């Protein structure tokens, strides 16, 4: 049977690090307050001249090098992001051009924090259909440009970064075992950026009045996130007829440690099987899972034949999961 294998991983984090102690100097917060509520200690911040495609390009180069392929072998470039370089063209087109992946189609995916796993599902379907063999899936975010640094409920949560994987169709039992994705658009106002799109354009007349940053209903979102994580992971187990005991590593979207702890305790997944890096990188939205995947591999937490479960929850509302035999 043809399976979609992860043949390469890579990530990139900007050089500048912003700690909780740095945030204490610019807003009403404290290191203790942030750590207790989120588990975050620091986050990376992209330079002014670093766009989302620049972050994604570095992650893509690392993933391609890890896969041992040439850019010309890539047939499709997908970029999961909610912070594109431009409204038009797609950020994937910018990455495709900078990489020199001349044969590749290019597409952006906006499912917020679930974007990477939406991309895995789409790429898996395209590969198994026989339409494409080799797909580069990048997830990149420059979220710090969409933060209001006066609002500690959101500003302390997010960071910049990018992750990428090279996916290839190969015969055998290794690769993507299952994918799942769902959404509930009726609850979009729990987490959204109100202005900047066609619904509420930013104009010279309203630029000082509109909300340009991320808006979040934290309490309502917490409840929905725990429930959605549970549904996504249960569907992955049901589809593969596996149990939590079969899982070698669970790589969740790195949003909030309390959400992850609540979700995994319900699922019976022990701490030693959970990969966390949000203390170092914070919430990088779509990029969080591929960044964590690459770091976990480099730390020896993922080796050949391991069963890896991934799950995410984000704005939309969206949620998704994927089960992979490495």
Give me the active site residues, please: 113, 253, 283
Entry field: residues in the chain: 326
Dist. CA 246–CA 251, nearest whole Å: 14
Dist. CA 63–CA 69, nearest whole Å: 9
Dist. CA 143–CA 52, nearest whole Å: 9
Question: How far is the CA of 165 from the CAs of 29, 81, 290, in angstroms?
Answer: 36, 15, 7
Quick one: tokens of 16?
Answer: 């500048």
Q: Could you tell me the end-to-end alpha-carbon distance of the chain, in angstroms, rounded to an integer? A: 16
Helix-strand-coil percent breakdown of the chain, rounded to 5? Answer: 40, 25, 35
Query: What is the 8-class DSSP label of residue 123?
Result: H
3-state DSSP assignment of residue 98? helix
Beta bridge partners of 164: 10, 138
Query: What is the 8-class DSSP label of residue 158?
Result: B
Quick one: tokens of 80?
Answer: 């999961």
Is the previous residue joined to 317 through a cis bond, with omega within 30 degrees of 0? yes
Torsion of CA 258, 259, 265, 271, to 10 degrees: -60
| CB-CB neighbours of 79 under 10 Å | 32
């Amino acid at each position: 049977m043809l399976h979609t294998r992860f043949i390469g991983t890579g990530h990139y984090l900007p050089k500048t690090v912003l700690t909780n102690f740095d945030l204490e100097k610019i807003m009403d917060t404290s290191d203790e307050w942030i750590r207790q509520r989120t588990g975050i200690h620091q986050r990376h911040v992209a330079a002014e001249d670093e766009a989302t495609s620049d972050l994604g390009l570095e992650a893509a180069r690392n993933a391609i090098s890890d896969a041992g392929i040439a850019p010309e072998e890539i047939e499709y470039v997908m970029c999961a992001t909610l912070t594109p370089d431009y409204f038009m063209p797609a950020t994937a087109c910018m990455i495709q051009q900078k990489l020199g992946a001349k044969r590749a189609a290019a597409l952006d995916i906006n499912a917020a924090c679930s974007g990477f796993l939406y991309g895995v599902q789409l790429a898996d379907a395209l590969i198994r259909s026989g339409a494409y063999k080799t797909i580069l899936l990048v997830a990149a975010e420059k979220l710090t440009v969409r933060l209001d640094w006066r609002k500690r409920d959101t500003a302390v949560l997010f960071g910049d970064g990018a992750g990428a994987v090279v996916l290839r169709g190969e015969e055998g039992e290794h690769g993507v075992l299952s994918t799942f994705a769902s959404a509930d658009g009726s609850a979009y106002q729990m987490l959204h950026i109100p202005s900047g799109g066609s619904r509420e354009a930013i104009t010279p007349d309203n630029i000082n009045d509109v909300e340009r940053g991320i808006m979040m209903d934290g309490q309502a979102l917490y409840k929905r996130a725990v429930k959605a994580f549970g549904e996504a992971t249960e569907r992955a187990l049901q589809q593969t007829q596996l149990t939590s005991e079969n899982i070698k590593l669970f790589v969740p979207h790195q949003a909030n440690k309390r959400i992850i702890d609540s979700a995994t305790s319900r699922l019976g997944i022990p701490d030693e099987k959970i990969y966390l890096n949000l203390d170092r990188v914070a919430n990088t939205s779509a990029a969080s899972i591929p960044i964590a995947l690459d770091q976990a591999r480099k730390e020896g937490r993922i080796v050949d034949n391991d069963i890896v479960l991934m799950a995410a929850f984000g704005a939309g509302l969206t949620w998704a999961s994927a089960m992979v035999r490495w």
